[in-house]
């Protein structure tokens, strides 16, 4: 199996939800992550804190307030899957989709050996 990065973008912030909505979302995450773990497909992943920086050759700026229709990166998962198509299917079950977010799925290239 190959490893894939699921980059979680956009979505409704947790502080805009009721307590019940927050609990339901966390329960859905538990089920999703548990299933990936049981199937040996979960490598890792965490939410990220907002308010980062963007670094480029022209300088460093604060994280943009709006990163276009894709949205700000809110977290990531690294999973194992047989193919990009399989990884994309696994991403469709992620609670982030129901939270009005989107997920960029990218294969992680293995490090070359012998260098």
What are the pLDDT digits (tens) for 52-96? 888 889 999 887 655 555 678 889 999 999 999 999 999 999 999
Percent of the chain with pLDDT over 90: 63
Q: What is residue 94's predicted lDDT score, i.e. its pLDDT?
A: 96
- pTM for this structure? 0.86
The angle formed by the CA atoms of residues 35, 38 and 44, to the nearest 5 degrees, is 80
79, burial (CB in 10 Å: exposed 0-12, middle 13-18, buried 19+): buried
What are the pLDDT digits (tens) for 25-36? 999 999 999 999
Q: What is residue 14's predicted lDDT score, i.e. its pLDDT?
A: 80
Q: What is residue 31's predicted lDDT score, i.e. its pLDDT?
A: 97
- The separation between CA 63 and the C-alpha centre of its own chain, rounded to angstroms, equals 17
**Domains along the chain?**
2-107 (3.30.70.1060)
Residue 29 φ then ψ, to 5°: -65, -40
**CA 93, 30, 71, 7 torsion-angle sign:** negative
């Amino acid at each position: 199996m190959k490893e894939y990065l699921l980059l979680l973008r956009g979505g409704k912030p947790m502080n805009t939800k009721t307590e019940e909505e927050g609990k339901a979302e966390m329960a859905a995450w538990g089920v999703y992550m548990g299933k990936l773990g049981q199937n040996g497909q979960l490598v890792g992943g965490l939410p990220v804190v907002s308010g980062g920086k963007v670094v480029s050759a022209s300088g460093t700026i604060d994280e943009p307030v709006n990163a276009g229709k894709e949205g700000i990166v809110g977290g990531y998962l690294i999973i194992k899957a047989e193919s990009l198509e399989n990884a994309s299917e696994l991403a469709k079950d992620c609670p982030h989709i129901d939270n009005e977010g989107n997920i960029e799925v990218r294969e992680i290239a293995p490090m070359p050996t012998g260098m």
